[in-house]
Amino acid sequence: MRTFDLTGQKVAITGARGGIGSAAARLAAAQGADLVLADLVAPGETAAAVQALGRSASAAALDVSDRVAVEAWASEVGPVDALIDCAAICPFDDWEGQGWDDTFERVLDVNLHGPVNLCRAFMRPMMERGGGRVALVGSIAGRIGGVRSGPHYVMSKGGIHSFVRWAAKVGASHNVLVNAVAPGVVATDMTAEQSFDESEFPLRRQAEAEEIAGPLVFLVSPAASYITGAVLDVNGALHFS
């Protein structure tokens, strides 16, 4: 068995248009996986990059907070061996501002209800087939209350960490393994307009998307065959600061 080989595996990745999701798609393809990709806007460029690596890829427009749409997409793509959910939003807004309550609802819809919708749609077929992998994206925000993020994002990511443990219990007896990573600040479009004092980071820099993609793809690889219910800290020791 090649420890990190995904040859013959079909992997669904959401939030695949850019950042961590796109990096995870390219890395999974490089390990031999075929991909079904989705984002709020269909991730055509990511699909093209995967196809350039010699793997198959489809791209769909999907709002993960819409249960009906998620279940329709899952039915369309059919059974998958693994799910990597990178879909998330992180508004940097004032919780005392007008309209913030509406933003709060949207953040929880995407960041927390979305993963529930996806797991509900994809885990049952995995359990019926006798195996599968799920990798979600939590955050250091769910560990220490965030670096710059607001309470809606912090609560949603803390919820991911708890949900991983619940889902791991549900899936374990069927060899469906559910885990997550907890990144720190990552250099993506989500954080591009924010300024950070990187001298305060233990590694003196932000993470690159590929550095989060690696652990995510590891969690759906044969190398992680005895890991479930874990939230891996991939934040350069920022959670110790």
Distance between alpha carbon 20 and the CA centroid of its chain, in Å? Answer: 8
Q: Three-state DSSP class for 183? A: strand
Selection from 147, 179, 146 nearest residue 160 by Cα: 179
Q: Three-state DSSP class for 118? A: helix
Please tell me the distance from the alpha carbon of residue 34 to that of residue 43, in angstroms, as a whole number.
15
Catalytic residue among 139, 149, 156, 221: 139
Please return the burial class of 106, using the count of CB atoms within 10 Å of its CB with bins 0-12, 13-18 and 19+: middle
Percent of residues in the chain assigned helix, strand, coil, to nearest 5: 45, 15, 40
Please tell me the distance from the alpha carbon of residue 72 to that of residue 124, in angstroms, as a whole number.
14
Query: How long a stretch of residues is the chain?
Result: 241
Which whole-number Å values give the CA distances from 38 to 82, 99, 149, in the listed order?
14, 28, 25
Catalytic residue among 22, 58, 149, 153: 153
**120 DSSP β-pair partners:** none
157 labelled catalytic = yes
Catalytic residue among 22, 149, 156, 157: 157
Contact in structure between 107 and 156 (CB atoms under 8 Å): yes
153 labelled catalytic = yes
Enumerate the active-site residues.
Answer: 139, 153, 157
